[in-house]
Structure 1
Amino acid sequence: MVRITVFGESLVDLVATPDGRHFRADPGGSPANVAVGLGRMGVSVTLATGLGDDAFGRLVAARLVASGVTVEAQPAPFTGLAIVSVDGAGVPSYDFALSWEPAAPVLPPDTAVLHTGSLAAALPPGDRSAEAAMAGARATAIVTYDPNIRPALLGDRTSERRRVERQVALSDVVKASDEDLGWLYPGADPVGIARAWQRSGPALVVLTRGPGGCVAVTAAEQIHRPAPAVEVVDTVGAGDAFMSGLLSGLLAAGLLDPGRRAELGRADRALLSGPLTRAVTAAAITCARAGADPPTALELEDAGRRTPAEPFASFPPTRKSGT
């Protein structure tokens, strides 16, 4: 079985109650969430990350292992925290306390895909390690990337746009949200930016649009996939679940073979229909329950049997106590 190696931050989401006085501790971090989603979907996955020797680090590690993720953790001064406030529409905002100073990972020899992004590819000095890993992996692996923009932690817009464009050009598959592109390119057409990114190097760029579904851009065509109806609890981790679903779907379709980059770049509606449907379904299930709680392979299979008009609602949590 081929392996996906994820390089990036792990942290704990402290999710505020409506009164803002109490917090629930949920393991998170965008790359860690992607790894958890892949593990639950039956993919062989390693997370190269940094963790502190503390209670939060043990909480994060327990969740990863319970989800089938192999953890390669470099020591960090402390485990990062994200303080999450969710508005009345279920949309989160974040404040962070982080330490991210890892060396570039040594990839397991069976790695066919390297995924990175979010704060791991943005915050110095770890951003240099992420870019070194991306550049070094291209000879033997497919590189996938999600910028997952967090404006509160970033520099000026022009510098961040240059960084993201440089990292996009190092990638084979890129996923970004219309919120990401709205911050990077105010007033620009997000689909037009996705097309420009695809021409800069990636074989596939996927733009997520919340309830509007997603748009995939390859050299062959542009494909829209609608989002399933969902009764939203919150949208925490939905983009990460989408990424896990997309990667697991592309892997199942044989499109993440480093020797088939050209085929991925020419992928059409027939080839991408399954992976895109899997991605929007994974995101919908995650929106139907609290926190970053991506679905299992069995839940995705069960969801595939629902009627299109039936909304996703009331999914019980996958997490067990302490994971």
Structure 2
Amino acid sequence: MGEALIDLVPSADDPEIHRAQPGGAPANVAAGLARLGTPSWFAGALGCDGFARAIEARLTLAGTELGLCARPQLPTALAVADPGPDTTGYHFHLQDTATFRLTERAADVDRFAAVYVGGLAAVVEPAATAVAATARAAAESSLLVVDPNVREDRTLDPERSAHRLRELCSLAHVIKASDEDLVRLWPDTDPDATCRRLAEEGRLVVLTRGSRGATAYTRSAEPVSVPAVPVDVVNTIGAGDAFMAGVLNWLSTSGARREGGVDRLRRERLEEMLGFAARVAASVCAQTGTEPSLPARI
């Protein structure tokens, strides 16, 4: 549940030219899950312009169901990408767009094995209220997965945004966050200490560090780390969302949830999960675009 928008990405041939690429972390995760073979629904909002039609075509082609999408007669939000060597910054055009006119879905959550929330829709009204209500319901009847995916922009109130994202993390059964996310949400605490605290409260917590790999934390095992998969990097946009899709795909197909809960996974299972998700993320980094491919399970 969340935003589907358009990323305007500088062309590799001419940085002055930007190409329009469907994006938004929740939409990326939904499309990624479907491409990996896990049935997914996208609960967002699609507008009335050509960008919305491109987003719809992308999600439909991936195999994502759109029956929970709102259809307001408004334009699509834009995110102007500013890629760096390790991460990508954004400048947003969000106001008066269809993207954040989400419908609350609390009554629908028990239909699904997992509900994913986070990102811009979790902090931009009127979507934020709908996301919060849906997340509270999902925490009671489903597996609530949160990726805070913290964004900074002149149009966003950083303190209010951080408060909303911390509340979602407090409800979550699974948290996937980058080290940058955690520093922004808990600036006075080392990310490793934050992850240990969140895991001790009964969660599976996955910390991603880009090229430095990823670490999983639970209350029943010592943290488990894997390195990033070596790859000639073409693109980093969508890599974190591909990693998230890899984690969810693994949880849904490995039988892990029948082994006592996601917060009680054994060390070797955590290593298997992280390695698989890292290979999914690498499949995005090695190409243009944000569509992951299914790696062989090792």
TM over 0.5: yes
The residue that corresponds to 2:213 in the other structure is 213
- 8 Å CA contact 1:113–1:256 kept in 2: the answer is no
User: Deviation string for 1:8-61 (max 9, x for gaps)?
Assistant: 110111112365431111111100000011000100110011011111111000
User: Deviation string for 1:172-211 (max 9, x for gaps)?
Assistant: 00000011112223363111111122234x5201000111
How far did residue 139 of structure 1 move? 3.0
Equivalent residue in structure 2 for 1:288, among 275, 286, 289: 286
- 8 Å CA contact 2:115–2:142 kept in 1: the answer is yes
Q: Relative to total residues, which structure has the larger strand share, 1 or 2?
A: 1
The residue that corresponds to 2:83 in the other structure is 86
Equivalent residue in structure 2 for 1:10, among 1, 4, 26: 4
Give the distance between the partners of 1:255 and 1:166, measured in 2 at CA: 26
Distance 1:167 1:53, change over 3 A: same
TM-score w.r.t. length of structure 2? 0.90
How far did residue 81 of structure 1 move? 1.3
How far did residue 123 of structure 1 move? 1.2
Amino acid at match of 2:44: T
Any gaps of 5 or more consecutive residues in structure 1? Answer: 1-6, 306-323
The residue that corresponds to 2:62 in the other structure is 67
How far did residue 114 of structure 1 move? 0.6
1:203 aligns with 2:203: yes
The residue that corresponds to 1:3 in the other structure is none
How far did residue 256 of structure 1 move? 4.3
The residue that corresponds to 2:26 in the other structure is 31
Helix, strand or coil for the counterpart of 2:42? strand
- Number of residue pairs aligned between Structure 1 and Structure 2: 288
Q: Which moved more, 1:225-234 or 1:32-41?
A: 225-234
The residue that corresponds to 2:44 in the other structure is 49
How far did residue 90 of structure 1 move? 6.2
Give the distance between the partners of 1:48 and 1:94, measured in 2 at CA: 23
Give the distance between the partners of 2:147 and 2:87, measured in 1 at CA: 19
Give the distance between the partners of 2:122 and 2:48, measured in 1 at CA: 23
Amino acid at match of 1:155: D
- 8 Å CA contact 1:249–1:276 kept in 2: the answer is no
The residue that corresponds to 1:97 in the other structure is 93
Helix, strand or coil for the counterpart of 1:167? helix
- 8 Å CA contact 2:246–2:280 kept in 1: the answer is yes
User: Deviation string for 1:74-106 (max 9, x for gaps)?
Assistant: 02321121111223x263221112231312125
The residue that corresponds to 2:16 in the other structure is 21
Give the distance between the partners of 1:12 and 1:31, measured in 2 at CA: 13
- 8 Å CA contact 1:249–1:278 kept in 2: the answer is yes
How far did residue 161 of structure 1 move? 3.4
Amino acid at match of 2:70: Q
RMSD of aligned residue pairs (Cα, Å): 2.0
- 8 Å CA contact 1:238–1:292 kept in 2: the answer is yes
- 8 Å CA contact 1:90–1:232 kept in 2: the answer is no
Helix, strand or coil for the counterpart of 1:292? coil
User: Deviation string for 1:130-175 (max 9, x for gaps)?
Assistant: 1111111233211101000001153234x44332221111110000
User: Deviation string for 1:261-298 (max 9, x for gaps)?
Assistant: x5322212122222211111111111111232222x3x
Any gaps of 5 or more consecutive residues in structure 2? Answer: none
Q: Which moved more, 1:55-64 or 1:129-138?
A: 129-138
- 8 Å CA contact 1:218–1:268 kept in 2: the answer is no
The residue that corresponds to 1:120 in the other structure is 121
Give the distance between the partners of 1:49 and 1:255, measured in 2 at CA: 28
- 8 Å CA contact 2:212–2:228 kept in 1: the answer is yes
How far did residue 219 of structure 1 move? 0.6
Give the distance between the partners of 1:82 and 1:291, measured in 2 at CA: 15
